């Protein structure tokens, strides 16, 4: 009996030690190391094209497609950035992209939040079927609707204007409405009922109560919209013709020649163009994670 008790004590000690070796997430040290190794490999793979772009922007033209590849520039051609900036009107394209993205973000936040509030908090006939039908529009590829959209913009006289980019992008977006609606569903109805008792109308409730409570979701949607508009190439390619109205991605396409492409200048221009995207993402990554996570686990 005494020997059995000692064995039981030893087994309990080993179990306790094993439990102590596990962190709060329940992952063993070996599993944690493997997980971090996989994440590091994935990060290296995903950052590889970005590093190649930046390093190629600092190479001589003859070094871009050497076999085997030469990653480190020799010599470092910092003048490629100056030549790229001066070769095309990047400053004007930057302003075009900024104000198109800014207006699109502001209007989309307003329209999507209003529609999400209606679907989340206002009871009306066929609310749920209409919401499902609205979500079904996400399954329609943008390329399918581009011809009707082009004809509409032509009918409005908006071809070769920025309105052809801002208005369609600023209207109701199924993903944005879904994201905000899911967040609003997590807000207790008692807050709205108490506001109504105090004499607040629908607009006051939406503007002064609902919107401040969904700031993480609004920030996430704003960042997604800004990145999408800044990187958009297909829409500007279809609707814009005048170089003075080009956005940054469309301007970069001008580096492509009929017979040869100056890849060093294109990579330098691409590196310049990606700076606002990196800044927005670095500043807003916390809001993206918070907004998407809370929207997914609530409501």
Residues paired with 256 in a beta bridge: 261
Alpha helical stretches, state H, 57-188: 79-87, 90-121, 127-136, 142-156, 163-170, 174-185
- pLDDT value at 181 more than 50: yes
For the entire predicted model, the pTM comes to: 0.79
Average pLDDT over residues 156-166: 93
d(CA 134, CA 31) in angstroms, rounded, equals 43
The pLDDT value given to residue 143: 84
- pLDDT value at 297 more than 50: no
Mean pLDDT of the chain: 83
- 50: its two tokens: 């970005």
The pLDDT value given to residue 75: 85
Going by pLDDT thresholds of 50, 70 and 90, the confidence category of residue 33 is confident
Contact call for residues 281 and 287 (beta carbons, < 8 A): no
The pLDDT value given to residue 10: 46
- 154: its two tokens: 């032509």
The domains located in the chain, with CATH, are 2-56 (no CATH), 82-297 (1.10.3720.10)
Contact call for residues 177 and 115 (beta carbons, < 8 A): yes
Q: What is the pLDDT of residues 212-249, one digit of tens each?
A: 888 888 988 998 899 899 999 999 999 999 888 999 99
Q: What percent of the chain has pLDDT over 70?
A: 86
Residue 173 is given by DSSP the state -
The pLDDT value given to residue 85: 87
- pLDDT value at 106 more than 90: yes
Q: What is the pLDDT of residues 183-210, one digit of tens each?
A: 899 888 888 888 888 888 889 999 998 9
- pLDDT value at 36 more than 70: yes
Q: Which residue has the higher pLDDT, 26 or 261?
A: 261
The pLDDT value given to residue 295: 53
Task: Give the Å distances, CA to CA, from 85 to 53, 97, 248.
Answer: 16, 16, 11
Q: Which residue has the higher pLDDT, 67 or 10?
A: 67
Average pLDDT over residues 166-171: 87
Average pLDDT over residues 1-12: 48
d(CA 195, CA 179) in angstroms, rounded, equals 24
Average pLDDT over residues 100-117: 94
Q: How far is CA 205 from the centre of its chain?
A: 29
d(CA 224, CA 121) in angstroms, rounded, equals 25
The pLDDT value given to residue 6: 45
293 contacts: CB under 8 Å, gap ≥ 6: none
CB atoms within 10 A of CB 280: 16
59 contacts: CB under 8 Å, gap ≥ 6: 70, 73, 77, 264
- pLDDT value at 58 more than 80: yes
- pLDDT value at 293 more than 70: no
- 18: its two tokens: 């094993």
- pLDDT value at 105 more than 90: yes
Contact call for residues 76 and 58 (beta carbons, < 8 A): yes
């Amino acid at each position: 009996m005494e020997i059995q008790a000692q064995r039981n004590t030893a087994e309990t000690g080993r179990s306790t030690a094993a439990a102590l070796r596990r962190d709060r997430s329940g992952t063993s040290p070996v599993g944690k190391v493997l997980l971090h190794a996989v994440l590091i490999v994935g990060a290296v793979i995903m950052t590889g094209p970005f590093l190649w772009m930046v390093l190629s922007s600092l190479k001589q033209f003859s070094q871009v497609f050497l076999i085997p590849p030469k990653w480190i520039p020799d010599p470092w051609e910092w003048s490629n950035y100056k030549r790229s900036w001066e070769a095309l009107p990047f400053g004007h394209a930057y302003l075009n992209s900024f104000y198109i993205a800014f207006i699109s973000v502001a209007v989309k936040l307003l329209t999507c939040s209003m529609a999400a509030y209606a679907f989340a908090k206002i009871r009306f006939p066929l609310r749920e079927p209409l919401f499902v039908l609205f979500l079904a529009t996400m399954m329609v590829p943008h390329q399918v609707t581009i011809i009707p959209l082009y004809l509409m913009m032509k009918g409005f006289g908006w071809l070769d204007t920025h309105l052809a980019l801002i208005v369609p992008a600023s209207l109701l977006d199924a993903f944005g409405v879904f994201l905000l609606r899911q967040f609003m569903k997590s807000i207790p109805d008692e807050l709205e009922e108490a506001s109504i008792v105090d004499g607040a109308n629908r607009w006051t409730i939406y503007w002064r109560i609902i919107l401040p409570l969904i700031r993480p979701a609004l920030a996430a949607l704003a960042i997604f919209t800004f990145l999408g508009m800044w990187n958009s190439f297909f829409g500007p390619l279809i609707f814009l013709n005048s170089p003075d109205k080009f956005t940054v991605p469309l301007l970069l396409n001008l580096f492509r020649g009929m017979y040869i492409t100056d890849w060093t200048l294109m990579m330098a221009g691409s590196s310049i163009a990606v700076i606002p995207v990196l800044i927005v993402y670095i500043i807003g990554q916390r809001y993206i994670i918070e907004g998407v996570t809370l929207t997914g686990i609530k409501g």
